[in-house]
Amino acid sequence: MEGRRVIVCKLGSSILVGPDGRPDRAFISSLCGQVSTLVGEGYGVVVVSSGAVAAGLERLSLDERPSDMATLQACASAGQASLTEAYAEELARRGIPCGQVLLTRRDVADREGYLNARTTLTRLLELGAVPVVNENDTVSVAEFAFGDNDTLGAIVASLVGADLYVILSDVDGLYTADPQRDPTARLIPVVDEITPQIAAMAGGAGSSVGTGGMATKLRAARASLAAGIPMAICRGREDGVLVRTVHGEGTGTVFRPSPSNPRESGRKLWIGLAEVVHGAIVLDQGATRAVTQNGASILPVGIAEVRGPFEEGDVVNVLSPDGFLLGRGVTRFSSDDMVRVRGLRLDVIARFLPEKAGQPAIHRDELLVL
């Protein structure tokens, strides 16, 4: 893979599945044609595909998306076969092999599993195949579900060290407001930093067949930028949009990582993107500045609130005073102990918890700042 540029492309259910519930073969053919063009130009391409549950509705003669887990998983099983067949046939017509990779968060929630997934994806790309990745909805449970394929795509992009992560959606990109409700809403072509103001522009879930919305796409963008990977959101059914976006000619929104912030380490990315989150701590203003501007560890004295339960060694969200997600990290205190020590200096903590003398709440080396 050395010297080869890699593109990760995520497709939402709303553009993959037609109104009849079946995979839109014409669109999949067009997409695979674009993938073939990029492969011919020397790119490695990974497709992160939604749509399994939606495609399974028609195959199982169901009129609407079920709410119970067993039927959802049955739909995913039936629909996944249909989607994989469609990708494989269209890519084979163009002389490109296809490899299916089904993941749950359980598969990447431990370091060994994370590395194994990276090895498999990398080897498929080395062999000239296009990995088609989806969440393994047939066996996933709530605790180990990614929740949306926007997040899964960001994790895959970090796994393979992608040069660009593209989300093909049913929207043009990020707007200043909901364009369906506000005629003055403007498309934002470039985002260099996801501030609370940018995050506030995101709405709720999009289509009736998908699980994501602009909010999930912004979370994916924050993760992608932390990995040093540019991300683009664009309308997926525009002619040649994937190729044009890769060539820098797209019309959506591009999120650009700061050149002054190098890619975080694999361990930090694993902590922030793949591990299961068990709780949260809320920082005061001083600790927020120290973490985001000075690269500091999080000390108990700067913690204003603890939201548990969690144990020592768990990954927790790190929030600003107004609830904005600053990052994720491995806590060195349980939630019970964190409640006891929050707001206190290290020398005070050492008097009643001598085993924690000098310990930060979260060390900088185990903190991914988003």
Annotated binding residue 292: no
Check whether residue 27 and residue 71 sit in a common domain: yes
Of residues 33, 34, 48, the one with CA closest to residue 165:
48
pLDDT at 145 over 80: no
Least confident of 106-120, 283-297, 335-349: 106-120
Q: Are residues 286 and 238 in the same domain?
A: no
Same domain, 132 and 204: yes
Q: Which domain holds residue 307?
A: 277-369
**134 assigned to a ligand binding site:** no
User: How many residues does the structure list for the chain?
Assistant: 370
- Indicate which CATH number applies to the domain containing 311: 2.30.130.10
- For residue 24, say whether it is annotated as part of any ligand binding site: no
Instruction: Encode burial over 117-156: b for 16+ CB neighbours within 10 A, e otherwise.
Output: bbeebbebbeeebbbbbbbbbbebeeebbbebbbbbbbbb
Task: Give yes or no: residues 285 and 237 share one domain.
Answer: no
Give the residue from 225, 255, 285 where a domain finishes.
Answer: 255
Name, in order, each residue with C-beta under 8 angstroms of 300's C-beta and a sequence gap of 6 or more: 333, 338, 341, 342, 343, 344, 345, 346, 349, 360, 361
Give the per-residue pLDDT at 23. Answer: 77
Residue 252 marked ligand-binding: no
User: Rounded mean pLDDT of 349-362?
Assistant: 89
Q: Is the pLDDT of residue 208 over 50?
A: no
Q: Are residues 11 and 87 in the same domain?
A: yes
Whether 157 has a binding-site annotation, put simply, is no
**Taking the model in full, what pTM does it have?**
0.80
Per-residue burial over 180-212, b if 16 or more Cβ lie within 10 Å, else e, is: eeeeeeeebeebeebeeebbebbeeebbebbbb
pLDDT higher at 288 or 70: 288
356 appears as a binding residue in the annotation: no
318 and 283 within one domain: yes
Residue 149 assigned as binding residue: yes
The residue behind tokens 């709440």 is: 361
| Shared domain check, 217 and 162 | yes
CA geometry: angle at 303 spanning 301 and 306, to 5°? 135
269 found inside a domain: no
- Is 213 annotated to bind a ligand? Reply is yes
CA atoms of 224 and 192, how far apart (whole Å):
12
**Whether residue 135 sits in one domain with residue 216:** yes
pLDDT of residue 27: 93
Known binding residue 335? Answer is no
In a domain, 83, yes or no: yes
Share of the chain above pLDDT 70, in %: 88
Q: Is 338 annotated as a binding residue?
A: no
Does 214 show up as a binding residue in the annotation? yes
Pick the closest to residue 138 from 229, 53, 217, 265 (CA basis): 53
Statement to judge: residues 201 and 72 lie in one domain: yes
| DSSP structure string for 17-83 | B-TTSSB-HHHHHHHHHHHHHHHHTT-EEEEEE--HHHHHHHHTT-SS---SHHHHHHHHHHHHHHH
Query: What's the pLDDT at 266?
Result: 66
267 inside domain: no
**Co-location of 249 and 108 in the same domain:** yes
| CATH number of the domain to which 127 belongs | 3.40.1160.10
Specify if 268 maps to a domain.
Answer: no
Closest CA to 59 of 81, 29, 85, 87: 81
Identify the H or E element spanning 349.
helix 346-352
Same domain, 186 and 305: no
